[in-house]
Amino acid sequence: MIPFSPPHINQEIIDEVVDTLKSGWITTGPKTKLFEKQLAAYCGVSSLLCVNSATFGLELVLKWFGVTKNDEVIIPSYTYAATANAVIHTGATPVMVDCNADDLNLDISKIRGAITSKTKVIIPVDIAGYPVDYNELNELVKEDEIIQSFEAFSDIQKKLGRILILSDAAHSFGANYHNKVSGSLTDISIFSFHAVKNLTTAEGGAIALNLPYPFDNKQVYNYLNIFSLHGQNKDALAKSTKGNWRYDILMPGYKGNMTDISASIGLVGLKYYDSVNLVRRKQIFNTYQSAFSKFEWAETPIFKTASKESSYHLYLLRIKGINETERDKIIQEIYENDVAVNVHFQPLPMLTAYQYLENKIEDYPNSFHNYERLISLPVYQDLTDKQLTVIINVVTKTVEKNL
């Protein structure tokens, strides 16, 4: 079986993890802090906090911004559950808008009609690693009419004076938009380093801070760092210095820090991210594109334009003229030929957990039409050319057999 997305683990990564285990620092320590600095430099931001997951990062920022019951947060209907769950855990209501027909990202033209006086945050999602139109979105929330409708309750909301843009950049580490790297494209961006992501720490995430003046991003980093450690004003590394045991709890915080074991995996992955990982992913995308673009039945994904370049996280192939049942049959037959594929994602209105919001999938036609025809193909650093040929042949034969 050709797997869908196994992590790249080589001897250098193993040695780095072993070094951490032998060092005595297996929780948050010097390697996590080094990883933060290197990630911040890569993204072109002054401050970045590593956490235990992107989901936790989203929720932590929402809590910091004062999002609570009776507030609304705009999210895409076409995304993974984590985007909605982070909002729901604050007590706020996720307000869903449809995706674009072509790139599957949030349809910005529909956001204006979804904004109310209760809207505190918009969470765009860079589906498959392809960036949202951030310039348009950033300008939208600065329009006089929208600023005037914004009701600020917390001190931080008053300080920003407008809707916060919180990018769910779980897929887009390394993506490029108008010559800027993902993480520096809007107010705050959240990355995922889950096992299937381009850059992995097994489990983990990061909060990239790019807030405008008068915010001090380093100060926000310090607050979020404390907030992610039960509100304790000293982490284990700070308490380890002689006589520095005493601490205080400044607020009832959460527990969501990254460990040095996880950071060890990420440090090695980041070292080769541009020179090896992204290079191979681009090759895979281009090979798929060359193979499938010749077929009338294939709708290939957008992953590079004059102003945008994907992180090459997911290759989302859509089959023209089929429905959900036919797509599922094709996937099953591909699996029977020992190729693992996937679907990203089931639109949120289709899922049981969000039925209470009373969103009907019929109101999100682009989301459903893309979902019912979509097959996610394997993309990962260790995928060989031989395996790539097998995948292309199996997918092609299976689709053509079922059309």
Q: Please give the pLDDT value at position 97.
A: 98
pLDDT at 240 over 80: no
pLDDT at 243 over 90: no
Domain limit, last residue, from 243, 270, 297: 270
Regarding whether 354 and 216 lie in a shared domain, the answer is no
Regarding whether 291 and 266 lie in a shared domain, the answer is no
**Using one digit for the tens of pLDDT, what is the confidence trace for 260-282?**
999 999 999 999 999 999 999 99
Average pLDDT of the residues in 225-236 = 89
Regarding whether 116 and 18 lie in a shared domain, the answer is yes
Closest by Cα among 62, 63, 75 to 114: 75
Residue 194 lies in a domain: yes
pLDDT at 354 over 70: yes
Residue 5 lies in a domain: no
Residue 315 lies in a domain: yes
Regarding whether 51 and 28 lie in a shared domain, the answer is yes
Regarding whether 389 and 249 lie in a shared domain, the answer is no
**Using one digit for the tens of pLDDT, what is the confidence trace for 120-174?**
999 999 999 999 999 999 999 999 999 999 999 999 999 999 999 999 999 999 9
Specify the CATH number for the domain of residue 257: 3.40.640.10
Average pLDDT of the residues in 340-358 = 98
Regarding whether 175 and 59 lie in a shared domain, the answer is yes
Res. 351 pLDDT band, cuts 50 70 90: very high
Regarding whether 323 and 283 lie in a shared domain, the answer is yes
Q: Please give the pLDDT value at position 296.
A: 98
**Using one digit for the tens of pLDDT, what is the confidence trace for 20-72?**
999 989 999 999 999 999 999 999 999 999 999 999 999 999 999 999 999 99
Specify the CATH number for the domain of residue 390: 3.90.1150.10
Regarding whether 34 and 22 lie in a shared domain, the answer is yes
> How many residues would you count in the chain?
403
Q: Please give the pLDDT value at position 244.
A: 77
Domain limit, last residue, from 270, 302, 325: 270
Q: Please give the pLDDT value at position 193.
A: 98
- Percent share of the chain, pLDDT over 70: 100
Domain limit, last residue, from 214, 243, 270: 270
Regarding whether 139 and 257 lie in a shared domain, the answer is yes
Res. 233 pLDDT band, cuts 50 70 90: confident
Residue 4 lies in a domain: no
Residues sharing a CB contact under 8 Å with residue 223, sequence separation 6 or more, in sequence order: 64
Regarding whether 42 and 129 lie in a shared domain, the answer is yes
pLDDT at 230 over 70: yes
Q: Please give the pLDDT value at position 17.
A: 98
- Could you give the number of structural domains in the chain? 2
Regarding whether 387 and 250 lie in a shared domain, the answer is no
Q: C-alpha distances in angstroms, 68 versus 62, 90, 118? A: 8, 5, 10
Report yes or no on whether pTM surpasses 0.95.
yes
Residues sharing a CB contact under 8 Å with residue 15, sequence separation 6 or more, in sequence order: none
Residue 265 lies in a domain: yes
Residue 3 lies in a domain: no
Question: Which domain, by its residues, includes 310?
Answer: 273-402
Regarding whether 373 and 310 lie in a shared domain, the answer is yes
**Using one digit for the tens of pLDDT, what is the confidence trace for 71-114?**
999 999 999 999 999 999 999 999 999 999 999 999 999 999 99
Q: Please give the pLDDT value at position 234.
A: 75
Res. 239 pLDDT band, cuts 50 70 90: low
Residue 196 lies in a domain: yes
- CB-based burial label for 117 (10 Å; 0-12, 13-18, 19+): exposed
Q: Please give the pLDDT value at position 245.
A: 79
